[in-house]
Structure 1
Amino acid sequence: MIRTVVVDNEALVRSGFRLILDAADDIEVVATATGGQALAVVREQRPDVVLLDIRMPDVDGLTVLRELHALPAPKRPVVAMLTTFDTDEYVLSALDAGAAGFLLKDTEPAQLAQAVRMLAAGGVVMSPKATRSLLSRHPGTGRADQATARVEGLSERERDVLVLVAEGLSNSEIGGRLHLSGGTVKDHVSAILAKLRVGGRVQAALLAQRAGLLAER
C-alpha cells in the first residue's frame, strides 16, 4: 500500500481527496492535516507520499515543504504540491525547494490516483502544458537559451530519456518505453543530472521545458 497524507486547510478538500484515493486498491490515506499539523502528522505516520496545499493561511505550503525536506532520509516522504491555478507563481519556488511536482485540485479522480503511484515510484508529476504556461508567465532565472545550451550537451538517447523524465515516467516505465534495462535507465538519468548540473528529476524536467523539448507534446 502507498501510504499517503493530504495536507490542506479546507476540510472539504481533505475529505474529498481521502474519498478518492481510498477507493484505489493500492493507496491508503493514513491521515489528513492542516498546515500547522503537517510536520507532526508526517513524523507519526511516516507516509510514502504527501500531497501538500501550496497556499494555506496558518502555515504556508513552502514552509511545510522545507520542514518535510529537512527530515532524515528514511522518514522523508515524496511531496507534491496542490494548487488551484496552473500559473501559480509559488509552484516554481516549491519545485526548486524539492517538491516532486504539482497537481491541480480539480485533477480527475483516476489521474489523481495514478499521480500518487507515479510519485511513489520515483516519477515526476507535472503537466507539460501547465508547466509551459507557468514558465512563460514566471520564467525566473532560467532563460530558454541557457537551458538549450545545457541540453545540447546530452546525447540523443539522453535527450529521449530526459523527455520521458519530464513527462513524469519512472525509471521502469522509461525502460519499458525505450526497451532499456532499469540499470541502463538509471545510468542515463545520473549522467543527465550531472551534465545538466541539477540536483534532481524535477529540475531536469524544468530545464527540458525551458529548452523546448516538450513543445510539440
Structure 2
Amino acid sequence: MVRVVVVDDEALIRSGFSMILNAADGIEVVATAAGGQAVATVREHRPDVVLLDIRMPDVDGLSVLRELVALPQPPAVAMLTTFDTDEYILTALNSGACGFLLKDTEPEQLAPLVRTLAAGGVVLSPKASQSLLRDHPGSRAEAPDPQAGRVDRLSDREREVLVLIAEGLSNADIGARMHLGTGTVKDHVSAILTKLRVGGRVQAALLAQRAGLLADGPERRP
C-alpha cells in the first residue's frame, strides 16, 4: 500500500486528490494538510509520497520541501503547480523534489504518477517541463548548453538507462525493461550521475530533455 499525504492550501484540491487516489488500488491518502501543518503531518504519518503545493499563502512550499527531504526517512515529494511555467520549479527540483505535475493533471493519470514516485521514479509533467526548459536560461535550442553536452560522455547503454530514468522508471523497472540485474542498473545510474555532474535522478532527467533525448508526447510516467 502506497501511503500519501496531500499538502495544499485549498481544501477543494486536498479533497479532490484524496477522492481520486483513495479510489485507486494500492494507494491510501493517510492525511491531508495545509502548508503550516505539513511537516508535523508527515512526521506523524510517515507517508511514502507527498504531493506538495509549491505556492501557499501561509508558508513557503520550498521551505517545507527542504524540511521534508532533511527527515531521516524522507518521502518522495512531487511539487504541485497550476502554472505551465513556474519560476520556483527548478529551485524545487534542485532542492530534492522528485518531480512536479500540474494540478489539472487528468484524474486517471494521477495514481500511476504516484506509484512511479513510490517506486523511486521521476515525475515530470511534460507540458510544464517543456515550458520550464524553454524559458530557463541556457535551455534554448539556439544557445550552447554545456551541461547538456555532458550527455556525450555517456556510453550507449548509459544513454538508454538515462532515457528510462527520464521516463520515470525505477531501477527495478529499468532492469526488467533492459534485462539487467538491479545491481547492474544501480552501477549504471551511479556512473550517469557522476558523468553528468548532477545530484539526482530528477536533474539527470531534465538534462536528458535539454539534450534532446526525449521525444515530445502526451502526459506519461512522467
Instruction: Tell me what 2:42 maps to.
Output: 42
Matched AA of 1:185: V
The amino acid of 1:96's aligned partner reads N
Taking structure 1 as reference, are residues 105 and 216 closer, same or farther at Cα in structure 2, changes over 3 Å only? closer
CA distance in 1, matches of 2:128, 2:81: 12
Is the 8 Å Cα contact of residues 193 and 199 (structure 2) preserved in structure 1? yes
Taking only the aligned residue pairs, the percentage that are identical comes to 75
**Against the structure 1 CA distance between its residues 144 and 92, is the aligned structure 2 distance closer, same or farther, given a 3 Å change threshold?**
farther
* C-alpha contact 1:5 1:32 (8 A) present in aligned 2: yes
State how 1:75-154 maps to structure 2 within 5 Å: 76-139=74-137, 145-154=145-154
CA contact (8 A) 1:49 1:120 kept: yes
After alignment, is 142-151 or 181-190 more displaced?
A: 142-151
What is the distance in 1 between the residues matched to 2:34 and 2:150? 40
> Could you report, residue by residue, the CA deviation over 1:41-69 in whole angstroms, capped at 9, with x for unpaired residues?
01111111000000100002111101111
> Per the alignment, in what secondary structure is the counterpart of residue 56 of structure 2?
coil
- TM (norm. structure 1) is 0.93
| Residues 140, 11 of structure 1: alpha-carbon distance in 2 compared, 3 angstrom cutoff | farther
Give 1:1-217 correspondences, 5 Å limit: 1-72=1-72, 74=73, 76-139=74-137, 145-215=145-215
Note the C-alpha offset of 1:129: 4.4
- Contact 1:54–1:82 (CA under 8 A) maintained in structure 2: yes
Q: Specify the alignment match of 2:220 in structure 1.
A: none
Q: Quick one: structure 1 residues 144 and 63, their matched pair in 2 at CA, closer, same or farther if it must change by over 3 Å?
A: farther
CA contact (8 A) 1:147 1:208 kept: no
Instruction: Figure out how many residues of one structure are paired with residues of the other and give that number.
Output: 215
Shift of the 54–65 alpha-carbon distance from structure 1 to 2, 3 Å rule, reads same
Q: Which amino acid letter does the alignment assign opposite residue 11 of structure 1?
A: A
Distance 1:45 1:36 in 2: 16
Matched residue of 2:148: which SS?
A: helix
2-structure distance, mates of 1:127, 1:92: 13
Deviations 1:53-92 (A, max 9, x none): 00100002111101111212x2x11100001112112111
Moved more, 117-126 or 176-185: 176-185
Alpha carbons of structure 1 residues 135 and 119: separation in structure 2 relative to 1, 3 Å:
same
Distance 1:2 1:139 in 2: 37
Moved more, 45-54 or 162-171: 162-171
Say which SS state the counterpart of residue 209 (structure 1) adopts. helix
Contact 1:7 1:35 in 2 (8 A): yes
TM norm structure 2:
0.91
